[in-house]
Amino acid sequence: DVKVTQSSRYLVKRTGEKVFLECVQDMDHENMFWYRQDPGLGLRLIYFSYDVKMKEKGDIPEGYSVSREKKERFSLILESASTNQTSMYLCASSFGGWLAGDGREQFFGPGTRLTVL
């Protein structure tokens, strides 16, 4: 089974702190994603990466950065945490390529619930 793990389930930080959220997948997936999930808004894509050291902005990248130094690991960084970044953060991974179906679905981690005070 694909396993996507996230470093913390719950995290409490203070405004202005630098925050690191780590994600690791064990299926040799090319693609990795970071989403945030807020009530009534669904999952919104922050950043994604389709290869090591490659990254692309999603729909809401402001206030975030990412790092992918190894294929299995994708980090989300909040440079200076703010209260409006309080949310559930979900990491996902998938195989790469254009082909629809055939295992191209995204596999999700359990999420990190971040509270910024």
Partner 1 sequence: GESVGLHLPTLSVQEGDNSIINCAYSNSASDYFIWYKQESGKGPQFIIDIRSNMDKRQGQRVTVLLNKTVKHLSLQIAATQPGDSAVYFCAERTYNFNKFYFGSGTKLNVKP
Binding mask 41-80 for partner 1 (x = CB under 8 A): xxxxx--x-x-------xx---------------------
Q: Is 26 in the site for partner 1 (CB under 8 A)?
A: no
Question: 22 with 9: CB under 8 angstroms?
Answer: no
84: three-class secondary structure by DSSP: helix
Q: Is 1 in the site for partner 1 (CB under 8 A)?
A: no
Rg, C-alpha atoms of the chain = 14
Judged by CB under 8 A, the stretch of 11-19, 61-69, 73-81, 89-97 that binds partner 1 is 89-97
Alpha carbons 105 and 113: distance in angstroms, whole number: 23
